[in-house]
Chains A and B, each alone.
Chain A
Amino acid sequence: MKVALIKYNAGNVQSVRYALERLGVDAELTDDSEKIRSADRVIFPGQGEASSAMSYLKERKLDQVIREIKQPFLGVCLGLQLLCTHTEENDTTCLGIFPVKVKRFVPSASGQEKVPHVGWNSLENLVKNPLLKDLPDSKFMYYVHSYFAELGEHTLATTSYIQEFTAILHRDNFWAIQAHPEKSSVFGEKLLENFLALPSSSPQIY
């Protein structure tokens, strides 16, 4: 199976690559549009700042490549946020795959809930979906983020921190996870395994 990891100016790509390696997949880190288009799976990892990431993608016309992808596609962390319509992070227009807005957490008045949201938090309200098949009972994932996607019709799971937000999104051949599956122990590994196991054919069947 050919897995393309989209190369852009985002950190933490190596960890995603190692996580795939543990699942027996040798992913290629690339910004070559042909390689991305011809891969069986495309993963859009991320950690970093939204506006510079979007500029980087646009300069290389990867924004258009991503919108046209037909095979299973997975955004992770900043990757999820960039697939939404807009983020408050430096007032950035994003790719618009998901009709969802990304907002900044406002620390709770008590000061008990800090920003960024760092650590392990639980997934709730899971919708039946091939990505969420046969998951372990303990549904905790590792989060590090200051911005969150609002709830919407494409929300597959939620997490609560200061308020309820979208943990996982799905639309057609696009999936996205706010937490870091590559750092979320057995649970995250299962999500990645499920993603790799998705049928490769037409989007309508998902």
Chain B
Amino acid sequence: MLTKRIIPCLDIKDGRTVKGVNFVELRDAGDPVALAKLYSEQGADELVFLDITATVDKRKTLVDLVTQVAKEVRIPFTVGGGIGSVEDVYSLLAAGADKISINSAAVAQPELVDTLAREFGSQCVVVAIDSRQMDGIDWVHTHGGRKATSLQTRAWAKELADRGAGEILLTSMDHDGTKAGFALELTAAISGALTIPVIASGGAGTMVHFKEVFTSGKADAALAASIFHFKEIGIPELKMYLSDEGVVVRN
């Protein structure tokens, strides 16, 4: 049976993991390759690297990192953060990334999604949506959730799927960082309306939250960062728990 996926997310700045990690097993917790390998050994199903570097050397540092990860990590990984052109995508895929994730660029030029899907295949095109609720309506935001757009989340997700996106990475900005659980209603609505997989993100705090997002949230995968980095939840125990609760996971 196809399993539900657990995806740790690593924020990268200048080729290093940021936002803090707390791993005694690692001599250098800032090394994304070492952290990626550790997660992979612990049973993570995929990894996401989100680059937040602002410098002009950004692309080269990121390509170097992707090459290193591709050489050493034996599970699929996605790279996102500031990707805005076919050339960007080409260099990251050529370096060994399995998928790329775009966000603000898709809002700015939606036809980029069609182009990428045609050039590289839908399977490697993940489109991230940052959603925030205002007066009961879910709106797409860009620039790390700071900038509102005139797009509604559900309609936008549908449009992305129609344009050829392979997966949707849905982050609820209202839930992100709260550790109060994923946005179940929104995730279920989008997952139920689309024929492509939906990765839920934002709000993971307990193992129960993961179970909820896979059952009532209908998510195909769940992404989290700090709870894994700070070892509040270990991936092996999380998978054991989910399995006991009847959620099919890879053990």
Q: A22-B74, A114-B196, A120-B3 are in contact. Are A14 and B123 (CB under 8 A)?
A: no
Interface of A is mostly: mixed
Give CA–CA (A183, B76) in the complex, Å: 6
Within 8 Å of chain A (Cβ to Cβ): is B220? yes
For B74, give its contact among A48, A120, A186 (CB under 8 Å): A186
Q: Do the beta carbons of A185 and B122 come within 8 Å of each other?
A: no
Q: Would A185 and B221 be within 8 Å (CB), given that A19-B74, A21-B71, A22-B74 are in contact?
A: no
Asked whether B130 is an interface residue with its Cβ less than 8 Å from the other chain, the reply is no
Q: List 14 A-B contacts (CB under 8 A).
A: A14-B96, A18-B70, A21-B71, A111-B195, A114-B196, A114-B197, A117-B2, A118-B220, A119-B45, A119-B221, A121-B3, A138-B250, A142-B75, A186-B74
Is B172 at the interface (CB under 8 A from chain A)?
no
Query: What's the tally of chain A residues with a CB closer than 8 Å to chain B?
Result: 39
Is A183 a contact of B75 with CB atoms below 8 Å? yes
Q: Which of B23-48 contact A (CB under 8 A)?
A: 40, 45
- Asked if B98 and A160 sit within 8 Å, CB to CB, the answer is no
Chain B residues with CB under 8 Å of A21's CB are 71
Q: A residues within 8 A CB of B196? A: 114, 116
Residues of B within 8 A of A113 (CB): 2
Contacts of B40 in A (CB 8 A): 185
Min CB distance B124 to A, Å, is 7
- Using a Cβ cutoff of 8 Å, how many contacts connect chains A and B? 87
Q: Which of B98, B194, B221, B251 contacts A183 (CB 8 A)?
A: B98
Interface residues of B in 158-217 (CB under 8 A from A): 166-167, 192, 194-197
A-side interface residues toward B, CB under 8 Å? 11-12, 14-15, 18-19, 21-22, 47-49, 107, 111, 113-122, 138, 140, 142-145, 160-161, 180, 182-186, 188-189
Query: Is the Cβ of A120 less than 8 Å from the Cβ of B250?
Result: yes
The answer to whether B230 has its CB under 8 Å from any CB of chain A is: no
